[in-house]
Amino acid sequence: MDKAGVRPSKNYKDLVVKASGYENLPFGEKDCRNYINKVRNKLLGEGDAEALRNYFMRMQENDSFFYVIDLDEESRLRNVFWANAQSRAAYESFEDIITFDTTYLTNKYKMPFASFVRVNHYGQSVLFGCGLLSNENIDTFVWLFEAWLKCMSRRAPNAIITDQDRAMQAAIARVFPRAKHRFCLWHIMSKFPHKLGSHSQYENFKGALLNCVYDSLNYDEFEKRWQQVVESYNLKENAWFCQLYGEQYQWIPAYVKDTFWAGMSTTQRSESMNAFF
Question: Are residues 130 and 12 part of one domain?
Answer: no
Regarding whether 66 and 168 lie in a shared domain, the answer is yes
Each of the 277 residues of the chain gets a pLDDT tens digit; together they read 877 777 888 888 889 999 988 888 888 888 888 887 766 655 455 567 778 888 888 888 877 899 999 887 777 778 999 999 989 988 888 878 888 988 766 556 667 888 999 877 777 788 899 998 888 899 999 999 999 999 999 999 999 999 888 999 999 999 999 999 999 888 888 889 888 888 888 888 889 999 999 999 998 999 999 999 899 888 888 888 888 898 999 999 899 888 887 777 766 666 666 667 7
Q: Is residue 1 a part of any domain in this protein?
A: no
Measured between alpha carbons, how far is 36 from 112 in angstroms, rounded to an integer? 11
My answer on whether 14 and 141 are in the same domain is no
Residues 118 and 14 in one domain: no
Tell me which residue range forms the domain holding 76. 46-184+260-273
Entry pTM: 0.74
Length of the chain: 277
Task: Give the integer Cα–Cα distance in Å for 246 and 144.
Answer: 28
Contact present, 222 and 216 (Cβ < 8 Å) = yes
Cα–Cα dist 176/159, whole Å: 9
Residue 255 falls within a domain, yes or no? no
Is 175 contained in some domain? yes
Residue 3 inside a domain? The answer is: no
On the CB side of 83, how many CA atoms lie within 13 Å of its CA?
25
- Structural domain contains residue 223: yes
